[in-house]
Structure 1
Amino acid sequence: MTTSRATLDGDRPGTGPTLPPGGQRRRLHLAGLPKPVARARTYAAQALADWSWPTGPDGGQDDIVLLVAELVANALLHAGGPVDLVLDASEARLRIEVTDRSTDLPVPRRPHRPGLPGGHGLFIVQRAADRWGAVPHDDGKTVWAEIDAPRPPSGG
């Protein structure tokens, strides 16, 4: 049996990720694991590499791994720990979801005070994500962030 692999062009500027038709959803169960932030970062970096997600300055892999780390760290520090990390990638966007067991919705510290310790996680999420929010459910909540996929340059 021969396995073929599509050409991965995600490292060229302006190209989108290489995904299976319809995108892909990956889940990492984090509840009870030691070092959930580090595990989530590694998991996200591997998924982005597998998808050949572009590495550019806007919505690149480093920004996405930072978003994952911030969302998981917030769940760890403020919500009793993360339960699951979900990465849902499509041709149009990447959605990051972190579920925890707390029903308290996140509220950014206002005003943001860069010179003081603490309160920077949601500010980073707001700056790095195209959209973010939180959805309460019976067992806690899911905090999510979305990054739009880079678009190929138009014209020529």
Structure 2
Amino acid sequence: MNIPAPLTAECALTDLAGGLAAVRRFTRLTLLAWASDVAVDDALLIVTELATNALQHAGGCPVLRLSVTGTEVRVEVFDDSPAPPVRRRPGADGGWGLALVERLSAGWGTTRHGRGKLVWCALPAASAELAG
């Protein structure tokens, strides 16, 4: 039996050390269960970047949300800081993250959410439903 989209799953972000490994594992398992032909490795890079930014710069209790509707996988990170992410000039000290998100996704952006913000991006998926 197939369960059609939309599907949504959330994962709380904890610390940078073990938390990033856990959120990547969550993302991989969730996307492999939901969508065929989604670029899972691209999604893992994007999730790592957005989660790292939220944990380093936003404070509070950030949350990752993955959702799939039709032929699109959406990656969203909610955090408690209203300040939008700042795209820095890439160099030896970093600044590559948001450029990477932009290059790997079909689109990305930020939206105010409660007292904080939501940073999102979209990835194409050929089949966005749970295989049964």
Runs of 4+ residues deviating >3 angstroms: 31-34
Higher share of residues assigned strand: 2
CA distance in 2, matches of 1:134, 1:86: 14
State the match for 2:130 in structure 1. none
What SS does structure 2 have at the residue aligned with 1:65?
A: helix
| Fraction of identical pairs, as percent | 35
CA distance in 1, matches of 2:19, 2:60: 9
Higher share of residues assigned helix: 2
Structure 1 residue 48 displacement after superposition: 1.3
Alignment CA distance shift 1:90-1:47 (3 Å): same
Whichever of the two has the greater Rg, that structure is 1
State the match for 1:24 in structure 2. 7
Structure 1 residue 32 displacement after superposition: 6.8
1:36 matched to 2:19? The reply is yes
Q: Root-mean-square deviation (CA), in Å?
A: 2.2
1:103 matched to 2:82? The reply is yes
What SS does structure 2 have at the residue aligned with 1:70?
A: helix
Structure scoring higher RCO (CA < 8 A, sep ≥ 6) equals: 2
1:49 equivalent among 29, 32, 43: 32
Deviations 1:90-130, CA, capped at 9 Å, x for gaps: 22200000011111001212xx33x4212111111111111
User: In the alignment, is the contact (CA less than 8 A) between 2:49 and 2:97 conserved in 1?
Assistant: yes
Q: TM-score, normalised by structure 2?
A: 0.84
Q: TM-score, normalised by structure 1?
A: 0.72
Structure 1 residue 41 displacement after superposition: 0.4
CA distance in 2, matches of 1:122, 1:83: 18
User: In the alignment, is the contact (CA less than 8 A) between 2:78 and 2:113 conserved in 1?
Assistant: no
Alignment CA distance shift 1:33-1:104 (3 Å): same
**Unaligned stretches of 5+ residues in structure 1:** 7-19, 152-156
What SS does structure 2 have at the residue aligned with 1:124?
A: helix
**Unaligned stretches of 5+ residues in structure 2:** 128-132
1:92 matched to 2:75? The reply is no
CA distance in 2, matches of 1:28, 1:100: 12
